[in-house]
Amino acid sequence: MRILISNDDGIEAPGIALAAEAASRLSDDVWVVAPDGKRTAAGPSLTVARPLTMRRLGERRYSCSGTPADCIVTSMGWLFHEDKKPDLVVAGVNDGRNVGEDLAYSGTLGVAREATFWGIPAIGFSRLKEANVREGDATWLAKFIERLWVTRNEWSLEGHWLSVNLPADLPASVSQPSIGRDKIARKVEVVREDGDEFELVVPRGREHTSRKGDENSLIAEGFATVNRLNWFGETQLAGAFMEGLRSATK
């Protein structure tokens, strides 16, 4: 099994080392292609028609000057272009939960989303900041990934991927949450003002608001949460609404 690992925290982040260690217990064909620095909240953005720098750091290990999603595009379009494509893409483990609106902003989940465009099963892993990292975490994570791989036909529909949030302590029971609301950037800070020009900063962090059964509430109870997401943006409009539009535009 060929496993490709990427993230949005950068190739030297502890979380990607944990993911690589876990994957190496399942396969001897593990590749790491990750940004050369932190790319938090890069979402699914791509670098198009501008140069990207790929640097080989070791056997099956590369850094990329672009976004997390760029790492998948360059892997598929260059690294594996004339070679076997990965069987599984693992993103993370992100330094911090990805909940609520993060599902759209997250570079970690941008990796998984991009992988689905190439028809590859993908899992985005995130974990609470300042987690209680222990020696057995990689073993638990490897078993979890293995179980997801074995059951991939049950969750890996076209255009779908998994978002997994890990609690502070492993091992953990697993639960499927509702998607909550935990908005970032409720207040934007003014750091410099010069006449009609303003320099602003969107601060990190969020309020960690929760409601019963959402990601934040279950993570707080010590669960690992699993959601299946998809990139299909289409929701059919009601026939009466469309007929009204047609009538109004005749």
Residue for token pair 């601060």: 203
Binding site: which residues? Answer: 8-9, 94
Q: How far is the C-alpha of 207 from the C-alpha of 181, rounded, in Å? A: 10
Q: What is the pLDDT of residue 11?
A: 97
116-161: pLDDT as tens digits: 999 999 999 999 998 999 999 999 999 999 999 999 999 999 999 9
Q: Which helix (H) or strand (E) holds 226?
A: strand 224-230
Over the stretch 49-76, which tens digit does the pLDDT of each residue have?
999 999 999 999 999 999 999 999 999 9
Q: What is the pLDDT of residue 208?
A: 77
What distance in Å separates the CA atoms of residue 192 and residue 159, rounded to the nearest whole number? Answer: 43
Residues annotated in a binding site for a divalent metal cation: 8-9, 94
Q: Kindly indicate whether the domain formed by 2-180+210-248 is annotated with CATH number 3.30.420.40.
A: no
Please list, in sequence order, all residues whose beta carbon lies within 8 angstroms of the beta carbon of residue 81, skipping any fewer than 6 positions away.
Answer: none
User: What's the chain's average pLDDT?
Assistant: 93
Check: CB of residue 108 under 8 Å from CB of residue 41: no
Model pTM?
0.91
Q: Which percentage of the chain shows pLDDT scores above 70? A: 100
At 182, the pLDDT band (50, 70, 90 cuts) reads confident
